Amino acid sequence: MRDQAVEIRVSDFGDIGTRVVLVGKLDIAGAEKIELPLATVAGARGKIVIDMTGVSFISSIGIRHLVMAANAVARRSGKLVLLAPNPLVTDVLVNAGLEDLLPIVRSEDEARIVLSAKA
């Protein structure tokens, strides 16, 4: 993938929740672009899958927006999962100690199981 501005797309995730697809780099410019749409979804929806398969890089400000979204969802007893971030992005999130707040799933089936589980 060549360097590009981040793209964000929001759609239904079956009848379970909402899918947010992110593609590109979550650097300063990318994080700024996703800030409002991600906050809007997190404030309105209870179960969210953030598809990270197309994210090639994440900075601290990108992490901040994911954490803020997860906290907003958790305040309403919802769930948010990250779908299949690449190994570099996964390492950054795990090394930051965020795997409990931002659980990582490797497949859509796993995401459905986690989102459907009773709290």
**What residue ranges do the domains of the chain occupy?**
7-116
Q: Among 97, 114, 93, 106, which Cα is nearest to 26's?
A: 93
The one-digit pLDDT tens for each residue of the chain (119 residues) are 455 689 999 999 999 999 999 999 999 999 999 999 999 999 998 999 999 999 999 999 999 999 999 999 999 999 999 999 999 999 999 999 999 999 999 999 999 999 999 76
pTM to 2 decimal places: 0.94
Fold designation for 7-116: Transcription Regulator spoIIAA (3.30.750)
Cβ atoms of 73 and 48 closer than 8 Å? yes
d(CA 113, CA 60): 29
DSSP 8-state secondary structure symbol assigned to residue 114: H
Q: Measure the CA–CA gap between 25 and 112, rounded to whole angstroms.
A: 26
